[in-house]
Amino acid sequence: MKEFWTTLASVMGVWAFFQSILHTVFPPELRFASLKLFHRFFNWFSAYCYYDITEIDGVNTNELYNAVQLYLSSSASITGNRLSLTRGLNSSAITFGLSNNDRLMDTYNGVTVLWEHIVTQRQAQTFSWRPLPEEKRGFTLRVKKKDKAVILGSYLDFVMEKAGEIRRNNQDRLLYTNSRGGSLDSRGHPWESVPFKHPSTFDTLAMDPAKKGEIMADLKDFANGEAFYQRTGRAWKRGYLLYGPPGTGKSSMIAAMANYLGYDIYDLELTEVHTNSELRKLLMKTSSKSIIVIEDIDCSINLTNRKKNSGSGTNSGARNNNNHNNTSNFDASVPGSGNGGEDGGNSITLSGLLNFTDGLWSCCGSERIFLFTTNHIEKLDPALLRSGRMDMHIFMSYCSFPALKILLKNYLGYNKGDLEKDLEEEFKQVMDKAEMTPADISEVLIKNRRDKERAVWELLEALKLRADKKSKEMMINATDLEVEEQEKRALENPKENGELQENCDKRGGDDDLENADQINDEKIN
């Protein structure tokens, strides 16, 4: 045993001696060059190439690392044996990921790649304005050299796109509103948010199925139209106008659009915005894949038709033409449109709103929808309604029979064929005449949802009463309109009426004279 330790000590001494000679004869530069040459020689005969994706690139977070982590979670949940579970902020789903130093195979267009999640302890940190995590994380992608073009050409873009889709599906929708007076929150943002939990979808929306299909197809074309908008040189945005009577489901339509596309909603309150500059700043702070909503645009601020806002006098026509051609002077002659001064009103002009929806500032983001609602479309200025600002006008009408069937299914569980034929015919005959909104019909069904038959019959009676009331109102209105037209004709043509009366009187006098002559002749005879 003593000889073994003596021999081991001699070997260690010889190794230390040769190591000192090696360091003396071969400087560090030469050793580094030799090691580099060895790696090149090894890689020359290797069939694989490797790509490192670190969590932190310098001082910034590497978005590709997060995208790979999300993308691999869809495969790791099925094939992985040792997984890490995470739940992101504002997310209702749990995502799976590779555990430390674990591997996962992936296939893309027939090409197989190997992902490895490498986690090592970080060495002592140097001075940095941003503290770095204790662990150094990253992914290593192993690819065959012959598949290098495919992986770098389209695979990584596919990973980014798939990760974005997973993130939208996992993340809860958010509803934003602008802060009062443009104030900023603790993070310096002018928007305040709450989770958006509205359950409305296109399946539950009370609307004609053909019309819903048209809207859904348009939304899908927009969401998948990045290449089209780039090719045509148009900003990737679209405008919708929802108009119609109150209670026809405009807010439900907005929620259905957001849930269908997976977009966040920015509910813009114009009365809290004082200047056009604040309006632009709010637009800059909105994210892509979002719906910017301005509800009741005709009631928010004074943005009615410019032709109705001109003053009286001999120069009114000139002012109309001037305002029609120059939108920036819209608020100059409008009382109450405000000048942002002493009364604390806002000075948003029609020009500022038009630039917000269709100007250069509207292109500072991508994949955004501008959605306006109004109960009185005739009050809006034509410049706001043209294509490019409001590309699609959607009329939210009174409840039709196809929409009624959707409401009966939602509230009472009636499917196709469950309603009796005679009852169905009665509903068809009375629906268009009654002009009831989906909100009114829903209220009747909600009150009697525990008794289906009673709910249906009470709804039918309510529709018949509303139809009779509407028919009587139409008759009265028709009579009043006829009387008004007669009075209007009488006021517009007083001279013709006077001549007509004079002719009638003259003709009556001549007839009296003829009758008197006949009587005298009879007496003489």
Residue among 428, 435, 431, 503 nearest 474 (CA): 435
Could you tell me which residues are beta bridge partners of residue 283?
none
Both tokens assigned to 182: 């443009």
> For the CA atoms of 130, 132, 137, 143, what is the dihedral angle to 10 degrees?
40
Residue among 155, 253, 145 nearest 208 (CA): 253
What's the DSSP call for residue 180?
G
Q: Spell out the domain ranges in the chain.
A: 14-45, 47-171, 177-311+323-395, 401-524
Q: What is the pLDDT along the chain (525 residues), one digit of tens a residue?
A: 778 888 888 888 888 877 787 777 777 777 777 777 776 776 677 788 888 998 876 656 788 888 888 888 776 545 556 667 766 665 566 666 677 778 888 888 888 898 888 888 766 655 555 555 667 888 999 998 888 888 888 898 899 888 888 777 777 788 999 877 666 655 557 888 888 889 999 999 999 999 999 999 999 999 999 889 989 988 899 999 999 999 999 999 999 999 999 899 999 998 888 888 888 888 888 888 899 999 998 887 665 445 444 444 444 443 344 444 444 333 433 333 444 443 445 678 888 888 888 877 777 778 899 999 999 998 888 888 888 789 999 999 999 999 999 999 999 988 887 888 888 899 999 998 888 999 999 999 998 888 988 999 999 999 999 999 888 888 888 787 777 777 777 777 765 555 545 554 555 555 554 554 554 555 444
Give counts: helices (H), strands (E), the chain.
Answer: 18, 15
Both tokens assigned to 63: 């978005």
Helix (H) or strand (E) segment spanning residue 425: helix 421-434
Quote the CA–CA distance of 244 and 256 in Å, as a whole number.
17
Quote the CA–CA distance of 216 and 250 in Å, as a whole number.
15
Residues contacting 411, CB < 8 A, separation 6+? 442, 445, 446, 449, 455
The torsion angles phi and psi of 191, rounded to 5 degrees, stand at -110, 140
Q: Would you state the pLDDT for residue 75?
A: 63
Residue 446, exposed/middle/buried by CB under 10 A (0-12, 13-18, 19+)? exposed
Residues contacting 136, CB < 8 A, separation 6+? 54, 55, 119, 120, 121, 122
Q: What is the CATH number of domain 177-311+323-395?
A: 3.40.50.300
Quote the CA–CA distance of 72 and 97 in Å, as a whole number.
7
Residue 433 contacts residue 470 (beta carbons within 8 Å): yes
pTM summary value: 0.64
Q: Would you state the pLDDT for residue 346?
A: 64
Could you tell me which residues are beta bridge partners of residue 49?
143
Q: Would you state the pLDDT for residue 207?
A: 93
Residues contacting 148, CB < 8 A, separation 6+? 49
